[in-house]
Structure 1
Amino acid sequence: MNQKEVEKIYNLSNLSLEGKDIDVLTYKFNKVLDFVEDIFDIDTDGVEITEEIFNHKAIFRDDEVEGSIKREEALKNAKDTEFGYFRLDWKL
C-alpha cells in the first residue's frame, strides 16, 4: 500500500489526515497487510478444528416497526449528497 492509497482510504472514510504522518500510517497499514498475508500462508491441512459452537442459541429480538428519521436529519452531516441520497466517490 502506498501513500496515495492511504490518503484515499482516509478520504473515503471522511477522516482527516491533518497532523498525521502519512509515512507512519502507510507503514502501519502495510504491517497489518503483511501479517494477514502471513496468516494465509500457514498450512492448516490436517489441523483439527479446536473450537465449534454446537449448542449456540442466538437470542433475537422481535422486529418492531418504528418511524424513520427524516431524510434531512440523515443527510445533515454527509460530506456529499445528490438527489436526496449519500453520494460516494468510487473512483480508485
Structure 2
Amino acid sequence: MEAKEVEKIYRLANLSLDGKDVEDLSNKFNIVIDFIEDIFDVDTEDIIMTESIDSHKVVFREDEAKESSSRDDALKNAPDKEFGYFRLDWNL
C-alpha cells in the first residue's frame, strides 16, 4: 500500500494525518496485508472443521415496525448534506 492510498483511507474515515508518519503507516498496513495473504496460503484441505454453523441454534424474532428517525435528526451530524440527503465526495 502506497502513501497515497493511506491518505485516501484516512480521508474516507474522516481521520486526521496531522503529526503522523504516512510512510510508517503505509509500512504497517503492508505488514497486515502480507499477514492476511499468508493466512490465505495455508493448506486446510485435510483439516476437520471443529465448529459448524449448523450446530448453532438460530433464534428469530418478529419484525416490529417502529418510528423512524426524522430526516433532521439523521442528518444533524453529517459533515456534508445536500437536498436533504447525505452528500458524498466520490473524488476521494
What TM-score do the two structures reach when normalised by structure 2? 0.81
Task: Write the letter of the residue equivalent to 2:68.
Answer: S
Residue of structure 2 equivalent to 1:90: 90
CA contact (8 A) 1:75 1:81 kept: yes
1:52-91 counterparts in 2 under 5 A?
52-91=52-91
RMSD after superposition: 1.9
* Equivalent-residue separation in structure 1 for 2:14 and 2:24 (angstroms): 19
Task: Write the letter of the residue equivalent to 1:17.
Answer: L
Shift in Å, 1:7: 0.9
Aligned length in residues: 92
Residue of structure 2 equivalent to 1:50: 50
Residue of structure 1 equivalent to 2:6: 6
Residue of structure 1 equivalent to 2:36: 36
What TM-score do the two structures reach when normalised by structure 1? 0.81
**Where do 4+ consecutive residues of structure 1 move more than 6 Å?**
none
Shift in Å, 1:62: 2.7
Residue of structure 1 equivalent to 2:21: 21
Bigger shift: 28-37 or 59-68?
A: 59-68
Task: Write the letter of the residue equivalent to 2:14.
Answer: N
Deviation digits for residues 33-77 of structure 1, max 9, x if unmatched? 111111112222222222214331122333221111111221122
Task: Write the letter of the residue equivalent to 2:22.
Answer: I
The residue matched to 1:54 in structure 2 has which SS? helix
